Amino acid sequence: MKIALTGDSILFRRLNSLTDPVIRPLFDLIRACDVSFTNLELVANDYVGDPALDHGGTHFGAPSWVLDELADAGFDLFAAATNHSLDYGIAGLRAMMAQLERRQLLYAGIGTNLEEARLPAYCTRPAGTVALLSCVSTFARGQEAAAQTGLMPGRPGINPLHFQRSHEVTAEEMAQLSRLYERLGLRAELDEKIRQGFSTAPAAGSLSFDGTRFVTGEQTRTRTVPDARDSADLIRWIGEARLVSDVVVLSIHGHEGGYNVAGLPDIEIPADFLRAFTHTAIEAGADIVVCHGPHLLRGIEIYRGRPIFHGLGNFIGQNELVARLPMDSYTAFRYTPDMTPHRLYRGRSENDQKGFPSDIRFWDSIVPVCHFEDGSLQDIVLHPVTLGLGLSAHRRGTPFLATGAQGLRILEHVRDLSAPFGVVLDPDTGRIDLSSHEKSMS
């Protein structure tokens, strides 16, 4: 069984994957696989719903027919848990779910309550069954689905992967923060909240500034750990999927970055909690973990003989082609609503001098094809993809296979990102050497 994987699909125009000779070879490759996956980084709801104040960076409302374009492109499984899932509130989320279900498309990661959002989707083909679970770590408070009780329904939303973030500081730095805490009156404010029963005392050696937690440590660094309750719930459903599937895929949408070898924050490095939870997911029974969110490529890891794609980048990147924007988007970028949407995006990037249009990393992608036989991983081949940086705004963002020097450059970059994980990638063929990992498993 061959499974194709892609990153974020942000689609607002007709894709024409069946007729465009430039992009068709890429999509023929996707359609030729037994099962193909993409991340649905938009709200395909015909702009139904109420624009959210706390959105995912901009409002990604889209026509519902983009789902037909993605289905024609060969995609069978859709991860729907992203930081944009509730750009148009619960009403908008419900509208997109209705559009997905009307087309009988298989999606995971959103639901009318928490347990429904946790559920796997199952795609059965003659070659076997692939299960998909989808979760997200980057989202606004209240966008996560809530559980039902005996008396009340749950809240519609995304399948959350919460995490705890602590800013580790030295003893000297903590002493400085403590003095500020006292002088600003925050200590007295917290004591009163504790007295009234609205808060609890922080753990020894820690301090909280408006929800930002500082702890005393040996160095100045941010540390993250996955939430135990969310981890347990996700593990439970991974175990369920393991019982009734040939291959289990976990999709994680998360923007959070970690630190590089120089000790500096680096968007190309996954955060500690993401690295930890991807390992937990494999141990629980996932065969593939596919991550996306920061819109650029990250390294590949083979853990216990199973691949973890720490970041597949953008697959379709038409974020500059949103046709309608609510007032909150204009306010966020300090523009007045008399500015048309694309002019807003041009202003936001200062005519392509900053942001996504100024950085090639956001326009490189890969499509891994994983080959399984009887549940055993046999092969992984990476196909380099470009989104056409340098083309005009209405043409770039549509993917096609990268060839020649461009394709080699992309695969060499993935090779370098993956080397710290011990993965050996041949950039000439796109093939990952699984033999050394098989020996480590034996």
3-state secondary structure 41-96: CCEECCCCCCCCCCCCCCCCEECCCHHHHHHHCCCCEEECCCCCCCCCHHHHHHHH
Percent of the chain with pLDDT over 90: 86
The two tokens of residue 390 are: 């340098």
- Say if residue 256 is in the same domain as residue 305: yes
In a domain, 177, yes or no: yes
Mean pLDDT in the chain? 95
Q: Where are the beta strands (DSSP E) in 23-67?
A: 35-40, 43-44, 61-62
Query: Could you tell me if 41 and 8 are in contact, meaning their C-beta atoms sit under 8 angstroms apart?
Result: yes
66 domain-assigned = yes
> Parallel, antiparallel, or unpaired for β 61-62 and 265-270?
unpaired
| Residue partners of 366: CB distance under 8 A and separation at least 6 | 297, 312, 313, 382, 383, 384, 385, 410, 411, 414
Q: pLDDT digits over 118-161, tens only?
A: 999 999 999 999 999 999 999 999 999 999 999 999 999 999 99
How high is the pLDDT of residue 258? 96
- Is residue 309 predicted with pLDDT exceeding 50? yes
Q: Does residue 257 surpass a pLDDT of 80?
A: yes
One domain, residues 355 and 211: no
Res. 438 pLDDT band, cuts 50 70 90: low
pLDDT of amino acid 442? 44
Q: Which helix (H) or strand (E) holds 222?
A: strand 221-226
Q: Are residues 234 and 193 in the same domain?
A: no
Q: Supply the CATH number for residue 117's domain.
A: 3.60.21.10
pLDDT tens-digit map of 78-94: 999 999 999 999 999 99
Is residue 264's pLDDT more than 50? yes
Whether the Cβ atoms of residue 291 and residue 254 lie closer than 8 Å to each other:
yes
What pLDDT was estimated at residue 135?
98
What pLDDT, in 10s, does the model give residues 181-200? 999 998 898 888 888 988 88
Q: What share of the chain in percent tops pLDDT 70?
A: 99
In the predicted structure, residue 103 carries a pLDDT above the cut 80: yes
Q: Are residues 372 and 315 in the same domain?
A: yes
Helix (H, G, I), strand (E, B) or coil at 360: helix
> Residue 361 falls within a domain, yes or no?
yes
Domain that holds residue 209: 171-216
The average pLDDT across 284-291 equals: 98
331 and 285 part of one domain: yes
Inter-axis angle of helices 186-196 and 171-183, nearest 10: 80
Q: Mean pLDDT across the stretch 370-387?
A: 96
Report how many domains make up the chain. 2
User: Are both 376 and 286 inside the same structural domain?
Assistant: yes
Q: 435 falls in which pLDDT band (50, 70, 90)?
A: confident
Res 341 pLDDT > 80? yes
Q: How far apart are CA 175 and CA 107, in angstroms?
A: 49
Residue 204 maps to a domain? yes
Q: Which of 26-30, 230-234, 332-336, 416-420 has the lowest mean pLDDT?
A: 332-336
The DSSP secondary-structure symbol of 201 reads P
Q: Is residue 387 pLDDT above 70, yes or no?
A: yes
| pTM for the structure as a whole | 0.95
Q: 201 and 234, same structural domain?
A: no
Q: Is the pLDDT of residue 304 over 80?
A: yes
Residues 204 and 234 grouped into a single domain:
no
What is residue 77's predicted lDDT score, i.e. its pLDDT? Answer: 98
Dist. CA 355–CA 349, nearest whole Å: 6
Residues in the chain: 442
Instruction: Assess if residue 28 is contained within a domain.
Output: yes
Pair (403, 303) in one structural domain: yes
Cβ distance 187 to 180 under 8 Å? no
Residues 263-288 have a mean pLDDT of: 97
**Phi, psi (degrees; rounded to nearest 5) at 210:** 50, 45
At 282 the three-state DSSP class reads helix
pLDDT band at residue 441 using 50, 70 and 90 as cut-offs: low
Residues 198 and 296 both lie in one domain: no
Same domain, 313 and 192: no
CA-closest candidate to residue 400, choices 29, 8, 149: 29
